[in-house]
Structure 1
Amino acid sequence: MEASERARLDTYFGKIAKAFAPPERPSSLLVTHLLPERPAFVRAVGTVSDLRAVLPKPKSINLAARRDIEQTTPCDALSRETFADPDTAVTYLETRAAGEDVVLLDVGGYFAPALDMLCARFSGRVLGVVEDTENGHKRYAELGKLPCPVVSVARSPLKDPEDFLVGQSVVFSAEALLRGRGDILHGRPALVIGFGKLGSSIARLLHAKGVHVTVYDIDPVRRAQALSQGFGVARDRDQALAGAGLILCATGALSLRGEDFPLLRNGAYVATVTSSEDELELDGLPDGYSRTSSGENVTRYSTTGHYFYLLNDGNAVNFIHGASVGPFIFLVQAEILAGVRQLAREGLDPGMHEVPTEDRATIAGTWLNYYNR
């Protein structure tokens, strides 16, 4: 990022932080992708809260960004296991923010498994969670009766541009990897599993490239939407897997179980838009499959009479090429800061919440002043 762009970004976040400064700053823990532009957002989080630690998503860490952040804020290791065990989760929170009012800023529902115990046993107070992704939104919503408020920006209209551009970057990276092996998209039927915001974006972009696209989604409403938009909709999931030359997993949950992989046709490519631990049950592959490199970021899984290719080890394929969505990501990051203020005001009941419409308008207006030039 050029110096002038960094200066503009810092000024933008300065305006946002001033607009959404809470009456009293809570402490915070931040889960985030550590992409090259991310330090500006981290600094803004540190302006509206006392940022106790950053937990970088392990498959998306830019080393220069990490070094920048570590000058002022600890960066701790992140895994699902950290917060799957309530004792471990509570102990971690105590080491970073004992006795304090804390806001948990999440990307993917990491805090969800231990949220009840964090709220019940932590020596301070968990004021609530701000969640950024649809996957994480679902993880919190599925808890049923929540012990604290969860402000979700996953379904905000300010996130729509990001979702479209993430879909575009997924298609770009998948095509780049295929071309690196001398393959092309054309003539390779694609199956998109999941027709939410990302899945529908991926399906449209593949279609625009002349790829025959079939959609599978467990939700009949989404299947109807896909059909209305001109896509093939799989009646039989197993047959769809067997016929696809490229499978793109975009559910944010488990897309392919171990027993599904032998159904794939020989030479099929598999890619995901989230992490392998969410989308793929690779540990459930039947015995006999061997794993060998078949080019940069392409792994060949094979057994007697069968083989398929996995892109980027099953992790979000677009992160190979930086996963940049341009300045549109700053809209969503600003909304996260607005969520911090909502929780710091302590007026929300336990349950799922959104950022108010007027706050989104403030964010959009500020963003346009800086990026509609």
Structure 2
Amino acid sequence: MLEVHERGRVSAFFRRVADIHHHGERPAVIAITHLLPGREVFLAGVARIGDIVAVLPKPRSIHEPTLREVGRTWQTDTLDRDAFADPEHVLAYVESRAAGRDLVLLDVGGYFAPALEHLAARFSGRLLGVVEDTENGHQRYAALDKTPVPVYSVARSPLKDPEDYLVGQSVVFSTEALVRSRDDILNGRPACVIGYGKLGRSIAAMLHSRHVGVTVFDIDPVRRVQALSQGYRTAPALADALAGAGLVVCATGNMALKEEDFRRVANGAYIASVTSSDDELELSSLTGLYTRTAVEPHITRYAAVGHYFYVLADGNAVNFLHGASVGSYILLVQAEILAATALIASQPVDAGMWDVPADTRQSIAGAWLTYFDGGS
């Protein structure tokens, strides 16, 4: 939890970013967000740019005291990916919160992507644009034939690099803590890292620093070449990477393990994810095929005849079990989300995928150094 002086410093930073970059009208904002400690300060920064008409907490990253605090100021609703796959449902929901208004959507994971075209065409107000936070969400929007409104993605921003590096560290920390809770250790347990983006690279490096042998699999051969050049074993197919791996860390954000893949997981292996289970692991497909048994807090044993493995944190982001803290570096990305929201609200932008301009990122980094260099 933030101390009073820390909260004041973060608020001042967000206020500075919002005030520098926002020069237009105040749109309505619907915000999907991880509702973890301190996120209420970020939302207060968003509220300097627009009127938050609803907050949709990510289901598996809700800190109850933060939810209660946020709920005292803003409307909080339930987020369900299956429901949000129905464009009519999303339209009805958005109409119930922002009918007739200019609207900006803040997204974490591409929840609005399936309904975006429908919203742009049918919403009674004016959908100004979307700001997306994650690589998974970036891919969902990029896969659309054409985004009907501007979509600013911060997923591949250089300001996100420090966060991704530290998230990778926290994933390995939490994975190791759970493995040790069973009187087991990572040493001597070959690891498979699926996905060699920024998170996967950090995870592989942290495992290597713990003297764990790492095999990397990525569907992109360029990334496999990069992993090979950095000293890791690589595999041409997922089945080869899984063979003999005692630890499997899924870092794709795009369904790393499907039903047929689980059969290739080695007996006794631990499976960890960096994001929500419905984005990374097709665990629902194992119902009726495997018996599930909770063997320790946050460790589930999946067993069938002659085969068993362990899933950590129910397949959700394992680092959230220990706060997923990356210090004040996460504020860089949150500030870029504020700046992107201000850009959408302040000036017309053509439809399509957009990055925040480089000079805006430099301004954010400079402000962050003013407030946080030397401490978190």
**Paired residue for 1:88?**
89
Amino acid at match of 1:7: G
**Paired residue for 1:111?**
112
Amino acid at match of 2:297: E
Amino acid at match of 1:129: V
Asked if the contact 1:227–1:233 (Cα under 8 Å) also holds between the matched residues in 2, the reply is: yes
Amino acid at match of 2:269: A
**Paired residue for 2:280?**
279
Give 1:144 shift.
2.0
**Paired residue for 2:22?**
21
Give 1:282 shift.
1.2
Secondary structure of 2:17's aligned partner: helix
Asked if the contact 2:18–2:342 (Cα under 8 Å) also holds between the matched residues in 1, the reply is: no
> 282-291 vs 136-145, which deviates more?
282-291
| TM-score using structure 1 length | 0.98
Residue correspondence of structure 1 range 1-373 to structure 2 within 5 A: 1-285=2-286, 287-373=288-374
Secondary structure of 1:324's aligned partner: coil
1: distance between equivalents of 2:288 and 2:84? 30
2: distance between equivalents of 1:164 and 1:141? 24
Amino acid at match of 1:133: T
Q: Which runs of 5+ in 1 are unaligned?
A: none
1: distance between equivalents of 2:59 and 2:37? 15
Asked if the contact 1:258–1:286 (Cα under 8 Å) also holds between the matched residues in 2, the reply is: no
Q: Which runs of 5+ in 2 are unaligned?
A: none
2: distance between equivalents of 1:335 and 1:13? 10
Residues 268-298 of structure 1 deviation map (CA, whole Å, 9 limit, x = unaligned): 0001001110111112227431000010100
Amino acid at match of 2:116: L
2: distance between equivalents of 1:321 and 1:149? 35
Residues 189-218 of structure 1 deviation map (CA, whole Å, 9 limit, x = unaligned): 000000001011100110111000000000
Residues 19-67 of structure 1 deviation map (CA, whole Å, 9 limit, x = unaligned): 1223111111101101101110011111111111110001001111111
1: distance between equivalents of 2:135 and 2:369? 25
Asked if the contact 2:132–2:155 (Cα under 8 Å) also holds between the matched residues in 1, the reply is: yes
2: distance between equivalents of 1:361 and 1:25? 25
Aligned length: 373
Asked if the contact 1:252–1:279 (Cα under 8 Å) also holds between the matched residues in 2, the reply is: yes
Residues 145-170 of structure 1 deviation map (CA, whole Å, 9 limit, x = unaligned): 11111011111111000000000000
Give the direction of change, closer, same or farther, for the CA distance of 1:348–1:88 in structure 2 (3 Å limit). Answer: same
2: distance between equivalents of 1:247 and 1:321? 19
Asked if the contact 1:31–1:56 (Cα under 8 Å) also holds between the matched residues in 2, the reply is: yes
2: distance between equivalents of 1:153 and 1:237? 29
1: distance between equivalents of 2:146 and 2:176? 43
Give 1:347 shift.
2.3
